[in-house]
Chain A
Amino acid sequence: MSAPILQVSNIETYYGPIMAIRGVSLSVPEGKIVTVLGANGAGKTTILKTISGVMDPQKGTVTFEGREIQKRDPDWIMRQGIAHVPEGREVFPFLSVRENLEMGAYTRKDRNRIQEDMDRVFDYFPVLRERAGQAAGMLSGGEQQMLAIGRALMSRPRLMLLDEPSLGLSPRLVSEIFTIIRRLNSEEGMTILLVEQNAHIALQTGDYGYVLEVGRIVMEDSCSRLMEKEDIKEFYLGIREQGARGKRRWKRKKTWR
């Protein structure tokens, strides 16, 4: 395997006195989809925020394309080629769809090629082309998620951080969005770090997965193998085994504790 495009080593990040990330290391190889699974409050979002520079780690390093990027300003990191699709979409509600996309290209120098990229985004998400003039706040949740992904694409990133793209969407929309995520990966070779609660779809989409619990990585493996593991099945996929007498085993312990 070639050198990873992103290498996070031993980061510790705090919210005030509270330690949210307790020494996490992970690596993202170029052209792959790496996924981080975890329950609410495990620290998934915090990892992404630490990578994109919105939060600074107390310890540890984040290396992107051989360069240490921790403790830099978010706009600088963005210019290095990392785009962040935030949790909860976070579009600019009173700007039009087109203006939202233009904001995604804010750090770009080659202004003349923006239109080209906007067309590319519209090809991926045809519904956005129809609504180009509408205020983003008027879009549905799914359309806003598409806009948030499209907006991130506008910066022509080499690494995309995706934070819970399935949040609050219907199953059909979720599969639609993940189809596009897979297409981005296969057609454009986009490297993606995906954070999800929906373990099912995340494991189906990703190449390699990490499992995060209260700020620590407790397991890592390729997604296909993760899907086979007993604990993942039970705690993340909700598949329960039947006990000896047809009753659920109610006191199973996770192997990593």
Chain B
Amino acid sequence: MNGIAVGCIYGLIALGFVLIYKATEMVNFAQGDLMMLGAFVAYTLISGLGLPYWLGLAGAVIIMAVFGYLLDAVLLRPVIGQPQFAIVMLTIGLGFILRAAAGFIWGHDPLSFETPFTGKVVNAGGVVIATENLAIIFGTVLLCAILYAFFRFTRLGVAMQASSQNQLAAYYMGIPVKRIFSMIWALSAGVAAVAGILLAPKFLIDPNMGFLGIKAFAAAVLGGFGSIPGALLGGLVIGVIEQIAGVYGPPGSHETAAYLALLLVLVLKPGGIFAQIGRKKV
């Protein structure tokens, strides 16, 4: 259960990677740090300003979404068209800056805030489950359902798909592609914020929690970069493998098992579990 919950978090961060990659063909290595920032913003709203949990959650998501939008509009738009390498360096650098800024504002000591789920358990037919795990799993499922409906049924969502499938044609259709890209960043930052907030009762919040993003990146690759269900599945697989290795494997395997699994998948199926690269050439 623990594994599935952690896996959901990886999946959510991986989802952020994939959203941005699919649309803009950039890999945002600061995705984990956006999650960290989201958790800190929620901490400030809930513990600092004393807002109720749900209001704090909504507030943090909105603030992060705006932050993500501006990040793209101000920082990344001028780099579009530059080599991939420049963009990768930019996002890695951005991660460092966010980490330093968070340390500066909130300090380097781990923090936590009260959530309705902290430390409670549910007894389901003899199996004891921590509510925080349930909250994570339920939250992930809900979020995915919302995102699915958004992409499938709203005009903006379909336009986002269209821009990611064929950028040039989207321009021809009069879709404001640049604004759409910024909105995808907003969406992705919002998802990261949700991940950070859901994670908060399990781990403590500190500026380095963004390094979880590296594992989420592995999850995204595992699932076949560019596939949304793949990202979620990849996250789950890595989360569960990690837990199993932690319990049954030799010491240290908790950390390495995820990457071993990644290597294995890449050797056997280089495109990832849900490879989409071949299909995209249609």
Q: Which A positions have Cβ atoms within 8 angstroms of B?
A: 52, 54, 73-75, 77-79, 84, 86, 90-95, 99-100, 102-104, 106-107, 137, 151, 155
Contact = CB atoms under 8 A, between A and B. Distances in A.
B168 A86 contact: yes
B166 A90 contact: yes
Contacts of A74: 171-172, 174
Contact of B174 (A79, A90, A100): A79
18 contacts: A52-B172, A54-B171, A73-B176, A74-B171, A75-B171, A78-B172, A79-B174, A90-B168, A91-B166, A93-B165, A93-B166, A94-B165, A95-B158, A99-B161, A103-B162, A103-B173, A151-B173, A155-B173
Interface in B138-193: 155, 158-159, 161-162, 165-166, 168-176
Instruction: Give the interface SS of chain B, mostly helix, strand, loop or mixed.
Output: helix
Interface of B: 155, 158-159, 161-162, 165-166, 168-176, 280, 282
A52 B170 CA distance: 13
B172 A86 contact: yes
Nearest to A137: B282
B174 A54 contact: no
Nearest to A52: B172
Contacts of B169: 86, 90-92
Contacts of B161: 92, 94-95, 99
A243 B183 CA distance: 66
Contact of A95 (B162, B171, B176): B162
A92 B173 CA distance: 11
Nearest to A148: B169
Contact of B172 (A54, A73, A94, A99): A54
B166 A106 contact: no
B155 A102 contact: yes
A174 B173 CA distance: 24
